[in-house]
Amino acid sequence: MVLTSILVYGSLTAIMFFSGKYAGERQDERNSLSINTTFFAPEIILSLLAFAFICGARWDVGVDHTIYLRDYQYLEDTGHFLSRDNYEIGFSLIAKFFALFHIHFFFYFAFLGFLQLFFVLYAFKDERYLYPYFAIIIVLGIFFLSWNNGIRQAIATCIFLYSYKFIRDRQFIKFLISILLATLIHKSALPFIIFYFILNRDLPYNRPTYIIILLISIYLGQNNFWIDKVHYVERLYDAIGYTDYSENFSVLIANSIKLSFGGRTSILLLLCLLNTYFFQEVYEFFNKRKSIKTYFILYFTGMVLFFMLFNAYSAFKRITLYFLIFEIPSLSYLFEYSKNKNKTLYYSLIGLFIIFALATFILESKGNADTSNYKFFWNYII
């Protein structure tokens, strides 16, 4: 399965990388001629379809995949979901549409994967030079498996990423509509309406302070003495749709498992440290564009929360996904800066993502429940 994963994920990365590279070059050329470039260009369609195909053809990739699959098949047979009846109306309508016409689950999961990537690519349709780096960060990093696990919340986080453009352009109504759309897929998106008022401000950045904050978060994450004292976390999780977790908050904390700070986590930390250390140079390289600072601070916040909650029950970490999604643009700007100004950093970043992916495939293959290595559904269903 490790070899299959290398071939599948490697091929998907290559397709998306070179399609994205061509998309960026073509946009630059057409911009120089003052010609508008349509979003649904052939190279972007290729990336979307390739990603959708791999999402649709998988089997037991992503911890929740089989739960979603059983729900869908039960919905086809009975008209009702198996695991729960209170899915958000937007997601429920999508699932029921596919089930009503008895469309094969391949197309159902492919469509959900298509939605995830679509919102990310469309958010940066005017900066397609970033697309090659999206391929590396999404497929070889944490996102492919994350998106194919908590599928509903993943779609909501992608919509949240897309919605930032309306904060940047001071278009509150469009931002509100975007968040409400995300809420129809997963209601945890609703509290993020407040970010319209937070992200309009010029957020502070100080390199030493940020590095110290990151190190403190690691210390707190390795020493969970504080988390069971933060009682408002229960109310927060209840408000954003994790009632099952908030009702058993104390039990889940008590049953949290001490995790080792291994090689993959160290790579995530190193990537964040590199982004933090070089941020000022990246910021100046892109003429101090405000949005780049916002992407970085949101990503940094996600990493701080990730390390603080490192040994908490995994469900508590899901809130961090709304921040970690900004790793995609933030590290992509670091990639673009390093490609032009620091080749050693550029190839080091690529190497770190390759090592992270290989470590995931190899380590997960040794476990009893391997939901990371790629498996095609037709090898398991006759």
For the chain, first and last CA: distance in Å? 19
Using pLDDT thresholds of 50, 70 and 90, give the confidence band for residue 220. Answer: confident
Could you give the CA distance from residue 131 to residue 252 in angstroms, rounded to a whole number? 39
The average pLDDT across 156-169 equals: 96
Using pLDDT thresholds of 50, 70 and 90, give the confidence band for residue 225. Answer: low
In the chain, where are the structural domains located? 202-341
pLDDT of residue 314: 60
Using pLDDT thresholds of 50, 70 and 90, give the confidence band for residue 1. Answer: confident
The average pLDDT across 337-360 equals: 96
pLDDT of residue 21: 97
pTM above 0.75, yes or no: yes
Could you give the CA distance from residue 172 to residue 165 in angstroms, rounded to a whole number? 10
pLDDT of residue 313: 57
Could you give the CA distance from residue 279 to residue 210 in angstroms, rounded to a whole number? 11
Please give the angle made by the CA atoms of 268, 122 and 68, to the nearest 5 degrees. 65
The residue with greater pLDDT, 254 or 89, is: 89
pLDDT of residue 248: 47
Find the range with the poorest average confidence among 287-296, 317-326, 366-375.
Answer: 366-375
pLDDT of residue 324: 96
- Arithmetic mean of pLDDT over the chain: 89
The residue with greater pLDDT, 335 or 252, is: 335
Could you give the CA distance from residue 246 to residue 252 in angstroms, rounded to a whole number? 9
Single-letter amino acid, residue 305: L
